[in-house]
Amino acid sequence: MIKISTRLKTLSLAITLSLPLSALAQTEIQWWHAMGGVNGERVEKISNDFNATQSEFKVVPVNKGNYTETMTAAVAAFRAKKQPHIVQVFEVGTATMMAAKGAVYPVEELMLDSGEAFDKSDYLPAVISYYQKPDGTLLSMPFNSSTPVLWYNKDAFSKAGINKVPETWPQVEDASKKLQASGMKCGFSFGWQSWVMLENFNAWHNLPSGTKENGFAGFDTEFNFNNKALVKHMENLGNWQKSKVFDYGGRRGDSLPKFVNEECGMWLNSSAYYGSIKKQAKFEFAQTMLPFYPDVISKPQNSIIGGATLWALKGHPKNDYKGVAKFMTYLSSPEVQAWWHQETGYVPITTAAYELSKKQGFYGSNPGTDTAIKQLSLNTPTANSRGVRFGNFVQVRDVFNEEMEAIWNGSKSAKKATDEMVKRGNKLLRKFEKANR
């Protein structure tokens, strides 16, 4: 028995010594994300595919709930010194992450420190500008970036005799009435209303949402979007709700069934719903750019992005960040980004991925799927159209949602509700500023 035991130990040691070091001490890279359903499966595929390219690091994706829950969990984990290496944070959490002192490892610094090739000129300016510091340093790696577009039912348009796709809000109203006359319950609906009907409305019309370059130039920003154009638009929406030209269906993507079930002929929401609409719609659909008011601006400016980026958190061994950097390089590769873009409708984060999608014939066989890219790149972003960076913005958006819903249900005038958005929102901004002085 002793001889057998000794032989087994000797054999085990010999096998162990014959294995490469990376197989014995593979470093795990924890990635906390908010992708559920099919997109969650795609995140798993990206991670597994990266892991198959090398054996030193293993990316482990972990779903932590929705965006708010994921960001909150990561902040709490950092305080407890149990943070992941990477966390996916939606765009409205940017200011919160920037204010988390000592927690963030800016992705551009991480790449340079790790010796990974990194050139900002490879990335679409409209995508990365949202996540840069004033000195241009990229804070986080764009991953699932999107922008709102106007989705429309081509079959319903044909039936209603609509020959021209709407470009302006008056044309949207006219098309909606024709759709209703042809038998549809409503003309259009939308989701993520603060992002689509306020933040992007202002950017698209080159109007400010707040002072200090929409918060990019300092946390001492204030909301000032209660201008005549936005108030009039909110008033129009409130009136259209009464006649079902517009029909509200929820704060996030809750109104999607109104479009795919052919209740409404148009839907304004993220380009990233491409995969869901393609799967659910039993009709020919397409997407076009957001409508604008020609009496406010002669031509639209550019839309702004939503979605989320990947933030690296400090507090791990130096060698771990080499794995994080290698994963960021893989994630940004043209092949991965083109696949992700084509599968989901999210915008490719690099010019190379966009060009690869062109070369592969994706836009030719799927007309309009480059709408989001064209819309984001329509003009050089201004201080009004670069994006927004406001503190406590998760809570602020809840306030905006409440006030907009008061307009839709007729309990408040557009003027009173937008003034309340500014007043209540500014209180939350001051609270954030005070906490982060």
Mean pLDDT over all residues of the chain? 94
Name the β-bridge partners of 160: none
* End-to-end C-alpha distance for the chain, whole angstroms: 71
Neighbours of 106 (CB within 10 A): 20
Report H helices in 29-120. 37-53, 67-79, 94-99, 107-113
> pLDDT class for 338, splitting at 50, 70, 90?
very high
For residue 320, pLDDT beyond 60: yes
User: Which superfamily, per CATH, for 2-146+306-364?
Assistant: Periplasmic binding protein-like II (3.40.190.10)
For residue 16, pLDDT beyond 90: no
pLDDT tens across 146-196, in order?
999 999 999 999 999 999 999 999 999 999 999 999 999 999 999 999 999
Domains of the chain, by residue range, sit at 2-146+306-364, 148-303+391-435
Which residue type is seen at 332? S
Position 126 scores a pLDDT of 85
Q: Torsions phi, psi of 406, nearest 5?
A: -65, -30
pLDDT tens across 339-390, in order?
999 999 999 999 999 999 999 999 999 999 999 999 999 999 999 999 999 9
Position 24 scores a pLDDT of 54
Closest CA to 331 of 13, 115, 49: 49
Domains 2-146+306-364 and 148-303+391-435 share a fold: yes
SS3 (DSSP) at 60: strand
Question: Which has more confidence, 23 or 292?
Answer: 292
pLDDT tens across 84-140, in order?
999 999 999 999 999 988 999 999 999 999 999 999 999 998 899 889 988 899 999
Report H helices in 281-317. none
Pick the CATH number of 148-303+391-435 from 3.40.190.10, 3.40.50.450, 1.10.600.10, 3.20.20.70: 3.40.190.10
For residue 268, pLDDT beyond 50: yes
Classify residue 121 by its DSSP letter. G
Q: What burial class does residue 282 get, using C-beta atoms within 10 Å of its C-beta: 0-12 exposed, 13-18 middle, 19+ buried?
A: exposed
pLDDT tens across 50-74, in order?
999 999 999 999 999 999 999 999 9
- The structure's pTM equals 0.90
Q: Above pLDDT 90, what percent of the chain? A: 91
pLDDT tens across 236-258, in order?
999 999 999 999 999 999 999 99
> What contacts 223, CB < 8 A, 6 or more positions away?
209, 210, 390, 421, 422, 425, 426, 429
